[in-house]
Structure 1
């Protein structure tokens, strides 16, 4: 099946699903708040550069350029930025004390060894600057087993703009947990990726119906630049 045919089939499914969702009260809007933070999930070399089991599509042409715009807006306006990555200390699959938990029974997480910093370092094109928090996680969600929620609350954050990879796993679970933790969740459309055709489109459609507002980069950059007096704030 061609990607064009897949896109057409997905759009047909979205149209029908939207009708059902609207009839049942889904697809509500959460809106932007007054104190945003950018939460970037796993945009590290193991996911953004070629040659790794975790390498994702559309990184160079969509995700990185969009992230650069979001970072510029955050840095110009003093909004918190959190860069999240994943790595493991004990990558021996036979070691019962591994920090991979049971995840290695499903996917090759042993490929991200903490001993090789090059793998889990944030992509140099969107590298953290002084004052930006870099958080190392072990699980899919950036909130699970980490101090992320407390960090955001201490900074007075009420809105998280979530970017990164993958739409099917780490980004999706981070968005779900972010909403559950009481943050307004915004998924930035062009800055979320995956490895599997159709995965991003389907997950963003479903996320927009249930867990976050999916907004494009232009809208998010405008919000980040104008939030103090913007009519988007508190929407």
Structure 2
């Protein structure tokens, strides 16, 4: 889309958001879930197949390079300094033959090309080197959209006393959204980090973040999230 088309789309979306906000607020939506006492950073599918050009799953490259990756670097620095949990989530499949009698892709390959993310090709599903995991951080392999569905994520978070998840990654309309919806369903406070969430489709991020903020979690900026994490760290030091 051209810049003019994007501006027109943004204008139309904002008009829809303004009208929907009035409706939601009249009916008691858009309440705040708030930050809890112990957060984890859950980074969804910021692996090469999504963050680098030339793949079926590649997301908006300009936003990825100019906003999402730099924002993630700030969040990671804050979480690492505060010694708080970081979970990097990626997606890959062991049996990618669509004609196989059995496959770990389930039925999803009938809708989207998940068969390209072959477990044998680690470069595709490896976390982007610009935000690569360090010692003490966990990389979780999922098979479905949600980072919670069929994985150990909820158990790991609970075992580590986590009550809040700061969610970043791609895509806003699928894996990020499903992770946030399942997160609140499993009893965690979801915070969608606005600057660190992307998609392939124009308007998808804005619409999904608006809807998430109305129903499933709070949408916050990188700066707000970093300030929250740094505040927790400062409070812990003061208490020691």
> Shorter-normalised TM-score: what interval?
over 0.9
- When normalised by structure 2's length, the TM-score is 0.94
Aligned counterpart, 1:53: 56
Aligned counterpart, 1:163: 168
**In the TM superposition, what whole-angstrom CA distance separates every residue of 1:186-213 from its partner, at most 9, and x where no partner exists?**
0000000000000000000000000000
Aligned counterpart, 2:15: 12
Tell me which protein shows more helix as a share of its residues: 2
- When normalised by structure 1's length, the TM-score is 0.96
Distance 1:44 1:228 in 2: 28
Contact 1:32 1:184 in 2 (8 A): yes
DSSP 3-state at the match of 2:166? strand
Contact 1:149 1:181 in 2 (8 A): yes
- Structure 1 residue runs of 5 or longer lacking an equivalent are 231-235
Extract structure 1 runs of 4+ deviating beyond 2 A.
Answer: none
- Structure 2 residue runs of 5 or longer lacking an equivalent are 236-240
Aligned counterpart, 1:21: 24
Aligned counterpart, 1:43: 46
**In the TM superposition, what whole-angstrom CA distance separates every residue of 1:69-110 from its partner, at most 9, and x where no partner exists?**
000000000010000000001111111311100000000001
**RMSD over equivalenced CA pairs, Å:** 0.9
Contact 1:38 1:82 in 2 (8 A): yes
Residue 153 (structure 1) shift: 0.4
Aligned counterpart, 2:132: 127
Matched, 1:83 2:88: yes
Residue 45 (structure 1) shift: 0.2
Matched, 1:177 2:182: yes
Distance 1:42 1:179 in 2: 19
Q: What number of residue pairs does the alignment pair up?
A: 230
DSSP 3-state at the match of 1:2? helix
Residue number among 100, 103, 106 corresponding to 2:108 in the alignment: 103
Distance 1:144 1:191 in 2: 22
